[in-house]
Copies of this chain bind each other. A is one copy, B any other.
Amino acid sequence: MPVVSYIEAIKTAMEEEMERDERVFILGEDVGKRGGVFRATEGLYERFGAKRVIDTPLAESAIAGVGIGAAMYGMIPIAEMQFADFILPAVNQIISEAAKIRYRSNNDWTCPITIRAPYGGGVHGALYHSQSIEAIFANQPGLKIVMPSSPRDAKGLLKAAIRDPDPVLYFEHKKAYRLLKEEIDNNEEVIEIGKANLLQEGADITVITYGLCVHYAKEAAKELAAEQGIEVNLLDLRTIYPLDQEAIINAVNKTGKVLLITEDNKEGSIISEVSAIIGEHCLFELDAPIKRLAGPNVPAMPYAPTLEKAFMVNQDQIKQAMLDLALF
């Protein structure tokens, strides 16, 4: 079985889907000849040609909007935003259009577009190449948002996104691209959108997170298990909008103690909604306050290494928060 990196998994998912279905095509900045600035589309231009791997003008609202139009025609576009931070000029097309096309046409028109965007920090990207921007979209019915935490999930969720009959935002972590590698046994796996993944069961505390933070949480949990015998029940949200309420409720009820983690700023983040679901449904099962660990409430991660480090949620902080909760 081959060991595959997170970014290779992404590329392979696109390649296989383009192979499988002629309607699938890619559009974005530098996705063609250059193979993407992170090389997520490397080789696809050579393989599928300039008509199916389209270098667009530098205009995100058009990348989204043209993709939406093509999706209405019956094509299956994968639009790449070069960095998640640069999805913002396309917000109107995504929220006013993609998210509402099915609803506003009373099921007459549909918009099966996938929008990929690399998010996340810790890569010396400074304010505008480090952001987690999922919270901006995570209140728009009609959209689905997935954020894979591993190569296997990256592949299976991207395939699901491409096959989904509705618009899906797919945020991939830049730092995970080459950091995370694993064997992928089932090449055909399509991971269901809308379902969280209980990564490991444990009786002491529940940790709920998504994206790259899952990796840190897993590592921290491993250490805590070895060092202190603390058993962590770890839920990877996978789909961060709409949330898998049932999985959240079950995971919390199992331990009565919960730690929620995001790399994003704290206020108004995905884990705020997770907390609200818990507060609504699990109140009498809780043995400790619903703890949130998140980035500080500053606009984004600065460039200077001192400041970037001070912003970024890391494995040590996660471990400490887990320990505190277990001891609560």
In the bound complex, residues from chain B placing their C-beta under 8 Å from that of A286 are 283
In the bound complex, residues from chain B placing their C-beta under 8 Å from that of A272 are 268, 272-273, 275-276
Size category, A interface = 35 or more
Determine which of B270, B289, B299 lies in contact with A99 in the assembled complex, contact meaning CB atoms within 8 Å: B299
B-contacting residues, A131-152, CB 8 Å: 135-136, 138-142
A300–B237 Cα distance when bound, in Å, is 25
Q: A91's closest neighbor in chain B, by CB?
A: B91
A299–B140 Cα distance when bound, in Å, is 6
- Could you mark each residue 216-246 of chain A with 1 if its beta carbon is under 8 Å from any beta carbon of chain B, else 0? 0000000000000000000000000111000
- Could you mark each residue 78-112 of chain A with 1 if its beta carbon is under 8 Å from any beta carbon of chain B, else 0? 00000001001101100110011001100000000
User: Distance (Å) between the CB of A271 and the closest chain B CB?
Assistant: 7
Binds B, one of A173-181, A191-199, A290-298, A315-323: A290-298
A127 within 8 A of B: yes
A24–B103 Cα distance when bound, in Å, is 41
Q: A291's closest neighbor in chain B, by CB?
A: B280
A-B contact pairs, 30 of them (CB 8 A): A85-B96, A88-B91, A88-B95, A88-B96, A91-B91, A91-B92, A91-B136, A95-B136, A99-B299, A100-B127, A100-B300, A103-B299, A136-B139, A138-B267, A138-B268, A139-B265, A241-B268, A242-B297, A243-B267, A271-B276, A272-B272, A275-B276, A276-B276, A276-B279, A276-B292, A279-B279, A280-B289, A280-B290, A281-B289, A283-B289
Closest 4 CB pairs of A and B: A139-B268, A275-B276, A279-B290, A88-B92
